[in-house]
């Protein structure tokens, strides 16, 4: 179980983690001070999405923020082009590849995210040097807080920093997305890498996935706290569910495109147009489309409400989002439904919803600061009683995107 976390405890956590990381670096590669080259430390945060689920690949909006759990990389440059990599999360010999030769994916699988980012940068003609590097991350692996994007962006920023190069964060995000597509075989949208690379402290990001334009909206921690509850349950999937949802959305697009060639994604479909097609679309396609069309509208509205500090209405939208993901998109789980329902029994909780692609992972709640401890207490009591599982709970501010610490 995660120890109680607040913004103040995470400062000491971070100092301890950095010291442990440098210790691990020394064990793998020799003392950081015995070599005249400087050991740099790079950080890249995890992320959570406030609202806007399964909207990214439909050209809609998402509304994520970067969170306190983060990946750290300690790294030092090498002249021979060799990259030697270790992770505190995975045992085994050092992973090795060279930026002077074509990089292929392979074993161990965890390193494919880093291999992919290096290869994408090299393919883009960027002159990289080699590095010795150790990764340590407090973003739970596979917990839906995008440990993968944190690793990708941290690796990219490490390689660029050691080469003395700068890259626009959005470009780095696109490089990392390509790495995830081609090296990890995950056809992800652009949200994760964008918020991890370009997040802003104290702000959530309303991201238009169609043109990648961004609006940063303040999240005032004195009035509103974000609590993330990891259900710790992932339902066994055949792996086809995500692709199936995408195909059902595409089936909707094909229908509307016949009547109007201007419709290329569900972003182009209004709720009125959708409703008028209820009797002709297959029922399941209709419900999938209804989730996406209404969720896109909820997402832009949520950003406007946060800007106006209208937290009650923001909370209601989050509940509607959850209901739509549960009923229409069918990607929730009994555990996520339970966490949402139980969170809402705590006074001072504005709203809660599943966050991430679904079938497991986390619930996000937005709450009054005074409700944080009662919520934590309540969930730690009832969730294990009802499921036999102890959840991890993170209380987090909105943090900055990836940066060079040292």
Catalytic residues: 192
Q: Is 268 in a helix, a strand, or coil?
A: helix
Residues near Mg ion (CB under 5 A) are 146, 148
Residue 90 binding target from ligand ADP, Mg ion, none, CB below 5 to 8 Å by type: ligand ADP
Q: Do the Cβ atoms of 120 and 175 come closer than 8 Å?
A: yes
- Write the DSSP assignment of 118-179 as a string of letters: HHHHHHTT----EEEEEEEE-SPTTSSS-HHHHHHHHHHHHHHHHTT----HHHHHHHHHHH
Known binding positions for Mg(2+):
148, 180
Q: Is 220 in a helix, a strand, or coil?
A: coil
146 binds ligand ADP (CB under 6 A): yes
**Closest to ligand ADP by CB, 117 or 365:** 117
Q: Do the Cβ atoms of 40 and 76 come closer than 8 Å?
A: yes
Residue 265 binding target from ligand ADP, Mg ion, none, CB below 5 to 8 Å by type: none
Q: Do the Cβ atoms of 84 and 141 come closer than 8 Å?
A: no
- Shortest gap between Cβ of 89 and ligand ADP (angstroms)? 4
- Write the DSSP assignment of 42-75 as a string of letters: EEEEEEEESS--S-GGGT-EE-EEEEEEEEEEEE
- For residue 269, the number of C-alpha atoms closer than 13 Å in the C-beta half-sphere is 32
**Closest to ligand ADP by CB, 142 or 384:** 142
- Shortest gap between Cβ of 279 and ligand ADP (angstroms)? 38
142 binds ligand ADP (CB under 6 A): yes
Residue 67 CA, distance from chain mean position: 9
Residue 141 binding target from Mg ion, ligand ADP, none, CB below 5 to 8 Å by type: ligand ADP
182 binds ligand ADP (CB under 6 A): no
327 binds ligand ADP (CB under 6 A): no
- Shortest gap between Cβ of 198 and Mg ion (angstroms)? 17
113 binds ligand ADP (CB under 6 A): yes
- Shortest gap between Cβ of 180 and ligand ADP (angstroms)? 8
**Closest to Mg ion by CB, 183 or 383:** 183
User: What is the contact surface with ligand ADP in residues (CB under 6 A)?
Assistant: 87, 89-90, 110, 113, 135, 137, 141-148, 151
């Amino acid at each position: 179980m995660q120890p109680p976390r607040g913004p103040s405890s995470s400062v000491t956590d971070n100092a301890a983690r950095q010291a442990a990381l440098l210790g691990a670096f020394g064990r793998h590669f020799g003392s950081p001070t015995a070599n005249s080259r400087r050991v740099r430390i790079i950080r890249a945060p995890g992320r959570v999405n406030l609202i806007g689920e399964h909207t990214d690949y439909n050209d809609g909006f998402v509304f994520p923020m970067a969170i306190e759990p983060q990946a750290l990389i300690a790294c030092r440059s090498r002249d021979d082009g060799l990259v030697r990599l270790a992770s505190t999360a995975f045992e085994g010999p050092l992973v090795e590849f060279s930026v002077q030769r074509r990089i292929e994916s392979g074993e161990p699988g965890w390193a494919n995210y880093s291999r992919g980012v290096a290869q994408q940068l090299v393919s883009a003609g960027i002159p990289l040097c080699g590095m010795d590097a150790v990764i340590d991350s407090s973003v739970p692996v596979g917990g839906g807080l995008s440990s993968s994007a944190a690793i990708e962006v941290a690796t990219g920023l490490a390689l660029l920093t050691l080469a003395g190069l700068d890259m626009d964060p959005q470009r780095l995000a696109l490089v990392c997305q390509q790495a995830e597509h081609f090296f990890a075989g995950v056809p992800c949208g652009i949200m994760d890498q964008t918020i991890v690379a370009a997040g802003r402290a104290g702000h959530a990001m309303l991201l238009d996935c169609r043109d990648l334009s961004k609006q940063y909206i303040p999240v005032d921690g004195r009035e509103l706290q974000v609590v993330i509850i990891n259900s710790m349950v992932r339902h066994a999937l055949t792996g086809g569910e995500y692709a199936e949802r995408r195909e059902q959305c595409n089936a909707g697009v094909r229908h509307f495109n016949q009547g109007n060639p201007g419709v290329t994604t569900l972003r182009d479909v209004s709720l009125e147009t959708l409703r008028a097609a209820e009797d002709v679309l297959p029922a399941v396609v209709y419900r999938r489309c209804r989730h996406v069309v209404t969720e896109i509208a909820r997402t832009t509205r949520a950003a406007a409400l946060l800007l106006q500090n209208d937290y009650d209405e923001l909370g209601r939208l989050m509940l509607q989002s959850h209901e739509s993901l549960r009923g229409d998109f069918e990607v929730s789980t009994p555990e996520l439904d339970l966490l949402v329902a139980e969170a809402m029994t705590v006074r001072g909780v504005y709203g809660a919803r599943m966050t991430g692609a679904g079938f497991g992972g986390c619930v996000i709640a937005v709450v009054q600061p005074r409700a944080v401890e009662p919520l934590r207490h309540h969930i730690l009591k009832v969730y294990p009683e009802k499921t036999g599982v102890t959840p991890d709970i993170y209380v987090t501010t909105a943090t900055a995107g990836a940066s060079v610490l040292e």
